[in-house]
Structure 1
């Protein structure tokens, strides 16, 4: 009987040891190799104190070693705490200290990112393990992983998720995705987000291959892109991939989650890709990845719902008195059932506030208060209506605006602050501290902007650092004296304020035209020393930028190149300094998908929809 997150992987490794378990540009491992490497590492971890109830931090780059580390940790009975080596040191240090993590797994490449204090085990080191270091038995109640989410108190909080909830989640996925081709599952989500659990173990527990990529924007650049048959993706990311023609060519099924899904995108996905099935999923980290899940057919007239509740989950839609509301009426979603997490690590008060006794179930059952407003449709599906608080989702990332505001206000240069999302951008609104600190106009001077942004970048993941800081003489307040978020103004137009350094060389002029096209800006008003992100760009637009530059300059430009050269001036110098080779023909994934669908129609093949 499958009782733990990794049990089915172990069975698959015995049954199909020569099958490919994970492939990435950094290497490939079979099931047998992944099994043996994780077994040896588990023995090594056990020898230094890993076991049930002991969190192990995993600070590993996105290579097959990441899966070795996760599986080894689970095999010891420990829970894993994912630590992104690219996170700020303060953030990593807080997560390790707050969770009580005394043991870290890393690699030579990520060793420098590890916070000081815990015992560090480096993958690849030759170590002799004393006899008797046998990993302990693991039971469903044991915690499998701890994932930190943004916190409304200004500090992130760790959610402890147990093996039993993970097993129930994987069983639900079996039912929901029956008939889907899971032979190549893209793993593009950060391991610090619970979507990664579904991506990795959906494949490993079903005998499929995890196609590990750096992020969704790198999907088409992977040498194994053609192997991807199943993709989990955020709607805004999918729009960007489609705009750039950067979707892998053989995707058969797509699961959307993390943001509101629109009918227009569903139809576009069916029309412009090889996808035969589209699904919509919803769920908080505290409910083990998702709690509602359903197919979204092509050609509907209404906006998609977030699906029906899964079999394992108990969904309650309640009013302010915790009484059920009739179907069609809005209420707050409360989640019960076997997938509800243990709670927040070392946060007993917050756990008690959010994880309540479930009055609709017997015994000591609990339900999680999500803060999401929903309504049941007549057919029993759920329609998402909004939030009861200031939590937002931005490109799938869960952000508590209060945490961003707390970090802004903690800056000595700032007296008051607010945060808001406008479109696909996180904005910070600041009232500078000190007499005479207010600059002319709504843009902060460069020194002040740099100081505040630098402090935030040292404390927060990049997706939580505001794309733009807007100066206000005072925050807008409502009649009760509270912040009126709706009255926060739109950011000023790019290019206002400091003197402009205009494009002067032919390459700079060409780049300014491309940037203007992508960012909807006048090319003549773009400062060649302004970073792409500062002008409203994001990682999805970088994919399109790379494609447009490749065509314009007849030279292969990759997304990683654009992380190295962030403004027009540096990009132009790089392009002009390159001797260049024969232009590489880059055929878009969209073109390949269209050609394949045309071939299928030509020989009478069906798409399966």
Structure 2
């Protein structure tokens, strides 16, 4: 029987099977009984502080089992949790807390300093059992969580989701994945994104094991990777795992979403791994994680559709008059059903604009997704793109206007535009075009300025999460305009390639030169364009490349290098010092690494190895 609340299934299983392992993490393992006891104590403490239904409580905890204790404790107190990633900029966290009128944040000693000012911080390590009023149980119409998404007005918007919507989603997960091995579910998604809800509670509400890691890039290094049978992630992350040959051997089910899914990727998964089922899922945060699914068979051909609606969702493809579009004709995707939120928090105007009466169901509303789709002859839905300026990069939902608004806040910027560059089917990057406040002389066409780019990206990083900071910035003397004076996005030029030293210093040691060769091969750029103080992100890389980078460095220097090491040593200078100090690499090993990287570089460039220098 499906529980009417998000956490009800967890309570039932913990009562019957307290000794079953619930959460596996490299920082510890918790049984259902331990998780039950710790979250119950937190719920009692929260109730004593006046927390109850309708009260948002922040959860600012690093990715370790305490994160699950905090989320469950808030839910058991009858409140809704507001996820606050400790890695997010302070101003971003402060906005979410102020906008949601959150006054209490559950945290840990490690993340205490990341909590916004003006809130009461309840540190988990200090929670003791108290005697007080019992927590008020949640009812289906209460909000379970509040997630903020990127906003077209330049500020994020809060999306509250009810327990009843979560219960409907979990019931559909049971139905759709009935034939799949769900015994070990990987939790790889930040709790600031709603996919994490399906990961966490399709495990804990059904008595399964949850393998908690920092991200998909960290999955291969988890000491519990062999337990993983199921993962939900974005196509770009799955591509990175495949490229690094780092897919867990026991993985049997992959759910892809957040980005267009290509047939070539599905074929690779079936061909190169032990995976038995690949699903393509679609759904906005406003509809509770997913609203359509497609089991993509290895025997099919053509690009995968996003499938058919779940049994609890109403999905329409409508024309401009809100009439059903003919089969094969494009229209806007509208969403209704049990998973639909009631609107945006404190945004009545935007709520009225995006949530409109459903002409086919009296008294119900439907959400204008802004996605363009069409129905196929087979009754499936084919995703075609966006009708506005919302984009998805590595599965993260981004409003270009919000990025542009933050760019405009920088004194170095006169005006700016943000765009997505699709280099390959599975590689999309967020870039910015900036007209600098100080006029550049003798510049025609787009140009690069490493110092100015670093200054602007640093200021953006103080206001935006990492995934919303453009990976590269091209500078223009003016933005292209349409005849009516509006930005002509179609006329934005291709960014210039980088062949000159962008910043930092030239590599001087053998290890630095070898690393520059490896980075160059991975990023498809000249090693001479890589400074020893540049980070992978400065050069247009992203976290998904770290899996492959760690493997290549480890192989070529004959030592274990993990993704966590690359987060600690972000530039070539610090990474080279660590490698030299820890391994005492000999000149012969370094020279071999340089030769291998040079050959790989030549292959990327389409040259013969002998022509490479």
| 1:531 positional shift | 2.0
The match for 2:69 is 68
**Are 2:124 and 1:136 aligned?**
no
Assess if the C-alpha contact under 8 Å between 1:233 and 1:255 holds in 2. yes
The match for 1:302 is 302
| Residues in 1 aligned to 2:475 and 2:155: alpha-carbon distance in whole angstroms | 25
| 1:492 positional shift | 1.8
| Residues in 1 aligned to 2:502 and 2:111: alpha-carbon distance in whole angstroms | 39
Change (3 A) 1:118 1:211: same
Root-mean-square deviation (CA, aligned residues, Å) is 1.8
After TM superposition, the structure 1 = structure 2 runs for residues 548-559 of structure 1, keeping only pairs within 5 Å, are 548-559=552-563
Alpha-carbon displacement from aligned partner over 1:425-455 (angstroms, at most 9, x marks no partner): 2111111114568979844544432331121
User: Which aligned runs of 4 or more in structure 1 are off by greater than 6 angstroms?
Assistant: 437-441
| Residues in 2 aligned to 1:498 and 1:129: alpha-carbon distance in whole angstroms | 58
Assess if the C-alpha contact under 8 Å between 1:292 and 1:309 holds in 2. yes
The match for 2:598 is none
The match for 1:97 is 98
Moved more, 180-189 or 420-429: 420-429
SS of the residue 2:72 aligns to: helix
Change (3 A) 1:451 1:440: farther
User: Alignment length, in residue pairs?
Assistant: 580
SS of the residue 1:534 aligns to: coil
Change (3 A) 1:448 1:500: closer
The match for 1:197 is 197
After TM superposition, the structure 1 = structure 2 runs for residues 480-559 of structure 1, keeping only pairs within 5 Å, are 480-496=484-500, 501-559=505-563
The match for 2:123 is 122
After TM superposition, the structure 1 = structure 2 runs for residues 314-463 of structure 1, keeping only pairs within 5 Å, are 314-363=314-363, 365-423=364-422, 424-434=428-438, 442-443=446-447, 445-463=449-467
TM-score by length of 2: 0.92
Assess if the C-alpha contact under 8 Å between 2:559 and 2:583 holds in 1. no
| Residues in 2 aligned to 1:67 and 1:126: alpha-carbon distance in whole angstroms | 15
Change (3 A) 1:9 1:450: same
Alpha-carbon displacement from aligned partner over 1:361-413 (angstroms, at most 9, x marks no partner): 123x1111100001111111110011110111000000000000000011111
The match for 1:573 is 577
SS of the residue 1:477 aligns to: coil
SS of the residue 1:29 aligns to: strand
After TM superposition, the structure 1 = structure 2 runs for residues 196-345 of structure 1, keeping only pairs within 5 Å, are 196-345=196-345
**Are 2:74 and 1:58 aligned?**
no
SS of the residue 1:258 aligns to: coil
Change (3 A) 1:573 1:299: same
| 1:524 positional shift | 3.6
The match for 2:595 is none
Assess if the C-alpha contact under 8 Å between 1:37 and 1:68 holds in 2. yes
Assess if the C-alpha contact under 8 Å between 2:414 and 2:434 holds in 1. yes
Change (3 A) 1:341 1:281: same
Assess if the C-alpha contact under 8 Å between 2:158 and 2:344 holds in 1. yes
| Residues in 2 aligned to 1:525 and 1:104: alpha-carbon distance in whole angstroms | 45
| Residues in 2 aligned to 1:357 and 1:7: alpha-carbon distance in whole angstroms | 32
Alpha-carbon displacement from aligned partner over 1:307-353 (angstroms, at most 9, x marks no partner): 11111111111111111111211100110111101211111111111
Where structure 1 has 5 or more consecutive residues not aligned to the other structure, the ranges are 583-609
**Are 2:18 and 1:17 aligned?**
yes
Change (3 A) 1:348 1:225: same
Assess if the C-alpha contact under 8 Å between 2:330 and 2:372 holds in 1. yes
| Residues in 1 aligned to 2:392 and 2:441: alpha-carbon distance in whole angstroms | 33
The match for 1:600 is none
Assess if the C-alpha contact under 8 Å between 2:169 and 2:288 holds in 1. yes
Change (3 A) 1:498 1:86: closer
| Residues in 2 aligned to 1:29 and 1:570: alpha-carbon distance in whole angstroms | 36
Assess if the C-alpha contact under 8 Å between 1:308 and 1:382 holds in 2. yes
| 1:500 positional shift | 8.0
| 1:519 positional shift | 1.0
SS of the residue 1:344 aligns to: coil
Where structure 2 has 5 or more consecutive residues not aligned to the other structure, the ranges are 423-427, 587-613
Moved more, 109-118 or 475-484: 475-484
SS of the residue 2:126 aligns to: coil
